[in-house]
Structure 1
Amino acid sequence: MKKAIAWVTLALGLLPISVAAQGQVNVTIPSGTIIGSSVDDVEIFSGIPFAEPPLGELRFKPPQPLSKHLGDFDATKKAKLCSQGPIFSASSNLRVAPLALEAERESFGNPVPGADQSEDCLTVTIHRPAGIEAGANLPVLFYIFGGGFLIGGTSVLVNNPTLFVQTGIDLGKPFIFAAVNYRVGGWGFMPGAEILRDGSANAGLLDQRKGLEWVADNIAAFGGDPSKVTIWGQSSGSISVFDQLVLYDGDNTYNGNPLFRAAIMNSGSVTPVDPVDAAKPQALYNHVVREANCEGDDSLACLRGLENEDFAAAANKIPGLISYESLALSYLPRPDGTVLTASPHVLAREGKFPSVPMIFGTQEDEGTLFSFFQGDMGTTDIITDYLDSLYFPNADRSLVKEFVETYSERLEDGSPYRRGNFTGLFSYPGKKRIASILGDIVFTLVRRWTLETIAEVSPETALWSSFASYNYNLTWDILGLGTKHGSDTDVFFARNNSYFPSITGRTYYINFVYNGDPNGDPNEGLDVNVTWPGWKEDRQLLWYNATENGYLADDFRNGSYNFIKEHIDSLVF
């Protein structure tokens, strides 16, 4: 009963992720003895350092090897978050702010003000079945959190994998869950020619890669098999997973062995982007330098010399994740010629990725969470100007307008879909149309482009894709959110297995972690509601619903998709 109460409480989000330890367990690795906690059937090792603290001269730098021995390291406490970027800024309609913030918190696990943040944050957190020891050779699920490259961390409740790990135990398919903390915002993704010359671009991606290398070196001591790693991410973590696929032109090896053998991407894939020293990212660097009073001969050294709170004040004077500017993100991975040799969409088209099995997931209403504060979007010209000024710096306005015209102005055709003319509270003209567009250009239709491109250039790569329509409740309907971006984090991490999408979703993913196929080995696979068809067969999506799963043809909004496909080289961020 005590165990059941704890699970229900976690599912309701009423406990912090760092539940008081019922016992302790130790694992010895080359850098020290890691002291973790044991809670029921799951053992947790939180905040294990995998690199030098990126402080002072190491701010912005690629992660450096850990230089000190950890000794007896206390991994029973909640891992610190990396310093966080701005969460929320509203330019209009301030009445929506509290409700929008609550929606954002559920989607990304928004840390509350004053949460434990630090630049000294490059850590890995491990969850494993209790009693597992070195030599068990369990498969490993390596998770990269989301949050718009601005916020998030391994210690926020929305990323708590306890129920997921417990499901593997209950189903007889135990696995190890490893989650990586990486630098976000200006700390991890500062752009500019100065950063490029310094060899410090895409530090956040390199943090993720360093975490994978730590797993390769150390996970066997925890009972994991470094040759059986599946990488998984959600939102910007999902975009990061694709970037890990194309990092170093697709070289995912370390000490001669692949760092991972499969990949899962939930709400994110290719993001077409300009180089790190292009005009838009350079303007961001210059803006931060001005805000920090660091203009001069060595602005980068000046930024490194700032106290963290002073740097944060300058680096975070940008739009928040939930804002008018929305998904026109300030900080994100960009080509630097070395880590990312070109835009991810170019690398995908050139086949510069390992041929590993891949799953791509999407939520039905990806754009609704990001359409609170645009205000009047009631005409094609207004939407065109919005996208032209914030999203696509290389596209002619006429091209952007053609793209907008591929989207219907009728309310019943917009997002949230299948809700007729209902727009939700705090609406404005064109809200459903802009929500459709935002969801497609970052998540839904770009996912289809990614799948089609991989299928064309790498026919041997196994591909599956899903579409979720499970999240309908009174609150989200009132707000006009539908199955919003981030609905899947609740399904995979918070709900108990009496919820149909949670048990089926976890089962598919556990099969995939074990066998590289969500349907599993026929002789070993776990029972699933319906067979998940490979995407290349008939371009069929597994359609998650609240009480049953089915199939959906991946051909909706084809006019908009065909435009993206034809003009993707111009539609870069």
Structure 2
Amino acid sequence: MKGRGPLRLLPIIAVAVSESAATATVRGEGVEYLGIENATSGINTFFGIKYAEAPVGPYRWRPPVPVDYSQSSETTYINATIPGDGCLQSVPPWSSGFTLLPGLVQGYSEDCLLLNVQVPTNPKSSKLAVLVNIHGGGYIAGTARDAPGDSLVYHANGSLIYVAVQYRLGSWGFLAGDEIKEDGTANAGLLDQRAALEWVQRNIHYFGGDPEKVTITGGSAGGGSVAMHMVMNGGDWNPPFRAALPGRQADYAWMTPMFDDQWQNIQYSYFLKGADCCDVACLRGRTTNELLNAEAFAYFAGYGSRQFGYGDFYWGPVIDGHIIRGHPFSEFRKGHFTKVPTLVTRNGYEGIMFTNQSIVTAEDSTNMLKTLWQDGDGTYVDIVRKLYSSDEYNSTLRYGLNIVADSGGPASSAYNFPDEFMRTQAVFGDALINCATTLLANAVATDGVASFKLVFNAGYQLHGATGPFVFNKDINPDGSLDIGFGYPIGGNTTLAGYMRDWYVSFVLNLEPNGYTYGLSPAPHWPRYGSGGHEVMYVEKNAISAINDPEKSCQCKFLEMGRGNGYQIWPQW
């Protein structure tokens, strides 16, 4: 079943650098970084800092090798005034951008283990709190430039440093299979992220940051990555961070189903065939373009054999028994995770972007979900669909979308979805994002650690909706966004200020209350599990504390189901 292609995603933000911009310098041990000073925003930016050696040739699918200048007899000078290459990107077959013969694109390469650092020009102390962002993009796309930290650094008024990291993507970062596990690592992309965090621990003090005050965040796959770092090694007692915001704006952690060794070996076999190789040694000798073609072949073969389907990106973290010892859902339930203050959020309609727009019938819906969960006979899917009754989950849900309620024009017609589509997107959104936020928030709160949850049903409302309000090149964004169709999404300056107040406060104080940039403090955000399970609920024209909507029988079942930590799902 072929869809019409996904809805338009949020745009990647390009960073332009003026030749006349003033420069800033930071000296470390054996190294000196030359960055850019922006007198208007009061922010110094250092682009493309290498934290690990290029993972090429024999270093492919192995742990990253940290860069170390401290042993050099001479100072190494780093030009950090322009963004470095992004990691190699890919596109799944269900997207309109898929091609069987991809090629290298300028600005992307294997030598991409880089990070950006943004520092206030007038810091309030010599030991500032640090926010490290792991970009999203389904584990197959994205760069450190996608979520600029200008708005947050400016909003923090000299109190915060922002770091954005890149990591190997797609097959380069997440190729699995028995042979890879024996001669490399199946989670190279996660180890890249951890290496970047270790770089921050060793080096951020040169930029004025405090390595003991690091918070990690990420959106979509970046949010899923934050959850992975919380369960990494069964839960580290001394991790390179003190707090977690699972979601790129502390939102929407992407928790795709994870399958067994057999599934991973089939994926690996497709990749080998596409590269015309018999083993990993051969793969390490192939050219970059040959491996890009092998990845595209594996995509096509996996999609054709229904190893994955619409809305799934195929590549991502796997349970390897070492780095990731069990499915994160299971690890959080068992208490096998790093106990740090945690703030999670989700957007109002998380499933719409990843649900096939050609779904009309119950059979269409069942087939998509059977592929998502690798549910051969459909027994699991049948139970899930009964939990999402068509009496409640149907096309009337679309009227909760501001773009439909407000426009009545061309934008509204683009969201004229049938009953089965809206029912399926509700399942998809809950299964991969919404229910995970409650599982994380509840696990952390149950252990007695500060936990907070936000449901953001304002702005764009779809996956990524909080981005324009929080992470922006504009130092004072209002959250507005042009999504096409001739209907821009309007912003709200007050709400945008509140959102940044909450996030800055969490990074500085380990809770979203207490910091105020403007004259009016943001509404009080209740701690999750303190006398109840209240979440902050943000609508277009209102903010309130409500009972967690994901404390539901649907989420209870999905948290225990196929691909979420159980080979055999329990009877319901």
TM-score (norm 1): 0.82
In 2 relative to 1, CA 562–343 (structure 1 residues): closer, same or farther, beyond 3 Å? closer
In 2 relative to 1, CA 346–384 (structure 1 residues): closer, same or farther, beyond 3 Å? same
Give the aligned residue type for 1:487.
Answer: A
Task: Please state how far the C-alpha of 1:462 moved relative to its aligned partner.
Answer: 1.0
% identical equivalent positions: 27
Identify the residue that residue 162 of structure 1 maps to in structure 2: 150
Whether the 8 Å CA contact 1:529–1:548 is kept in 2: the answer is: no
Task: Please state how far the C-alpha of 1:517 moved relative to its aligned partner.
Answer: 0.7
| 3-state SS in 2 of match to 1:211 | helix
Task: Please state how far the C-alpha of 1:521 moved relative to its aligned partner.
Answer: 7.2
Identify the residue that residue 367 of structure 2 maps to in structure 1: 385
Match of 1:546 among 536, 540, 557: 540
In 2 relative to 1, CA 160–35 (structure 1 residues): closer, same or farther, beyond 3 Å? same
Summarize deviations over 1:100-136 as a string: whole Å, max 9, x none: 9xxxxxxxxxxx9934001001112100101449x71
* In structure 2, C-alpha distance between the alignment counterparts of 1:209 and 1:526, rounded to whole Å: 38
Give the aligned residue type for 1:444.
Answer: N
* In structure 2, C-alpha distance between the alignment counterparts of 1:14 and 1:360, rounded to whole Å: 23
Identify the residue that residue 533 of structure 1 maps to in structure 2: 526
Whether the 8 Å CA contact 1:267–1:362 is kept in 2: the answer is: yes
Whether the 8 Å CA contact 2:497–2:518 is kept in 1: the answer is: no
Match of 1:122 among 113, 116, 128: 113
Give the aligned residue type for 1:400.
Answer: V
Task: Please state how far the C-alpha of 1:203 moved relative to its aligned partner.
Answer: 0.5
Identify the residue that residue 281 of structure 2 maps to in structure 1: 301
* In structure 2, C-alpha distance between the alignment counterparts of 1:141 and 1:513, rounded to whole Å: 7
Whether the 8 Å CA contact 2:52–2:66 is kept in 1: the answer is: yes
* In structure 2, C-alpha distance between the alignment counterparts of 1:572 and 1:138, rounded to whole Å: 47
Identify the residue that residue 63 of structure 1 maps to in structure 2: 64
* In structure 2, C-alpha distance between the alignment counterparts of 1:553 and 1:423, rounded to whole Å: 33
Whether the 8 Å CA contact 1:125–1:180 is kept in 2: the answer is: yes
| 3-state SS in 2 of match to 1:487 | coil
Identify the residue that residue 78 of structure 2 maps to in structure 1: 73
Identify the residue that residue 506 of structure 2 maps to in structure 1: 512
Q: Does 1:289 align with 2:290?
A: no
Identify the residue that residue 33 of structure 2 maps to in structure 1: 34
Give the aligned residue type for 2:384.
Answer: F
Identify the residue that residue 94 of structure 1 maps to in structure 2: none
Q: Which stretch has the larger CA shift, 350-359 or 45-54?
A: 350-359
Match of 1:18 among 16, 19, 22: 16
In 2 relative to 1, CA 565–338 (structure 1 residues): closer, same or farther, beyond 3 Å? closer
In 2 relative to 1, CA 337–543 (structure 1 residues): closer, same or farther, beyond 3 Å? same
* In structure 1, C-alpha distance between the alignment counterparts of 2:541 and 2:325, rounded to whole Å: 44
Whether the 8 Å CA contact 2:501–2:522 is kept in 1: the answer is: no
Summarize deviations over 1:386-443 as a string: whole Å, max 9, x none: 222x222367521221111211325345457466997745745621111111111100
Match of 1:561 among 542, 555, 566: 555
* In structure 1, C-alpha distance between the alignment counterparts of 2:413 and 2:528, rounded to whole Å: 32
Q: Which stretch has the larger CA shift, 532-541 or 67-76?
A: 67-76
Q: Which stretch has the larger CA shift, 13-22 or 331-340?
A: 13-22
Identify the residue that residue 487 of structure 2 maps to in structure 1: none
In 2 relative to 1, CA 501–393 (structure 1 residues): closer, same or farther, beyond 3 Å? same
* In structure 2, C-alpha distance between the alignment counterparts of 1:572 and 1:72, rounded to whole Å: 56
| 3-state SS in 2 of match to 1:76 | coil
Q: Does 1:490 align with 2:474?
A: no
Where in structure 2 are the equivalents of 1:350-499 lying within 5 Å? Answer: 350-371=334-355, 373=356, 375-379=358-362, 381-388=363-370, 390-393=371-374, 397-410=378-391, 411-412=394-395, 414=397, 417=400, 424-425=414-415, 427=417, 430-456=420-446, 458=447, 460-472=448-460, 483-494=461-472, 496-498=476-478, 499=493
* In structure 2, C-alpha distance between the alignment counterparts of 1:434 and 1:490, rounded to whole Å: 27
| 3-state SS in 2 of match to 1:375 | coil
Where in structure 2 are the equivalents of 1:128-139 lying within 5 Å? Answer: 128-132=119-123, 136-139=126-129
Summarize deviations over 1:304-326 as a string: whole Å, max 9, x none: 111111101111331699x9923
* In structure 2, C-alpha distance between the alignment counterparts of 1:82 and 1:386, rounded to whole Å: 30
Task: Please state how far the C-alpha of 1:565 moved relative to its aligned partner.
Answer: 4.0
Summarize deviations over 1:257-306 as a string: whole Å, max 9, x none: x411111011016555234xx22222111111111111x3xx21111111
Identify the residue that residue 343 of structure 1 maps to in structure 2: 327
| 3-state SS in 1 of match to 2:471 | helix
Task: Please state how far the C-alpha of 1:152 moved relative to its aligned partner.
Answer: 0.2
Whether the 8 Å CA contact 2:332–2:439 is kept in 1: the answer is: no
| 3-state SS in 2 of match to 1:464 | strand
Whether the 8 Å CA contact 2:123–2:159 is kept in 1: the answer is: no
| 3-state SS in 1 of match to 2:428 | helix
Identify the residue that residue 4 of structure 2 maps to in structure 1: none
Identify the residue that residue 263 of structure 1 maps to in structure 2: 244
Summarize deviations over 1:424-465 as a string: whole Å, max 9, x none: 457456211111111111001222233333334x1x111100
Task: Please state how far the C-alpha of 1:202 moved relative to its aligned partner.
Answer: 0.4
* In structure 1, C-alpha distance between the alignment counterparts of 2:32 and 2:128, rounded to whole Å: 21
| 3-state SS in 2 of match to 1:247 | helix
* In structure 1, C-alpha distance between the alignment counterparts of 2:121 and 2:567, rounded to whole Å: 48
Whether the 8 Å CA contact 1:348–1:453 is kept in 2: the answer is: yes
Task: Please state how far the C-alpha of 1:32 moved relative to its aligned partner.
Answer: 1.1
Whether the 8 Å CA contact 1:377–1:434 is kept in 2: the answer is: no
* In structure 1, C-alpha distance between the alignment counterparts of 2:317 and 2:366, rounded to whole Å: 25
Match of 2:290 among 310, 313, 316: 310
Summarize deviations over 1:27-80 as a string: whole Å, max 9, x none: 111241111111121100011111111011101111012256571110001121
Where in structure 2 are the equivalents of 1:180-191 lying within 5 Å? Answer: 180-191=165-176
Whether the 8 Å CA contact 2:502–2:515 is kept in 1: the answer is: no
Whether the 8 Å CA contact 2:126–2:209 is kept in 1: the answer is: yes
Identify the residue that residue 4 of structure 1 maps to in structure 2: none
| 3-state SS in 2 of match to 1:536 | coil
Number of corresponding residues: 512
Unmatched runs of 5 consecutive residues or more in structure 1: 1-11, 91-96, 101-111, 473-482
| 3-state SS in 1 of match to 2:529 | helix
Identify the residue that residue 198 of structure 2 maps to in structure 1: 213
In 2 relative to 1, CA 364–396 (structure 1 residues): closer, same or farther, beyond 3 Å? same
In 2 relative to 1, CA 15–185 (structure 1 residues): closer, same or farther, beyond 3 Å? closer
* In structure 2, C-alpha distance between the alignment counterparts of 1:543 and 1:37, rounded to whole Å: 38
Give the aligned residue type for 1:210.
Answer: A
* In structure 1, C-alpha distance between the alignment counterparts of 2:12 and 2:327, rounded to whole Å: 41
In 2 relative to 1, CA 15–570 (structure 1 residues): closer, same or farther, beyond 3 Å? closer
The CA RMSD over aligned residues, in Å, is 3.2
In 2 relative to 1, CA 205–515 (structure 1 residues): closer, same or farther, beyond 3 Å? same
TM-score (norm 2): 0.82
In 2 relative to 1, CA 216–252 (structure 1 residues): closer, same or farther, beyond 3 Å? farther
| 3-state SS in 1 of match to 2:431 | helix
Give the aligned residue type for 2:449.
Answer: T
Give the aligned residue type for 1:114.
Answer: V
* In structure 2, C-alpha distance between the alignment counterparts of 1:13 and 1:287, rounded to whole Å: 32
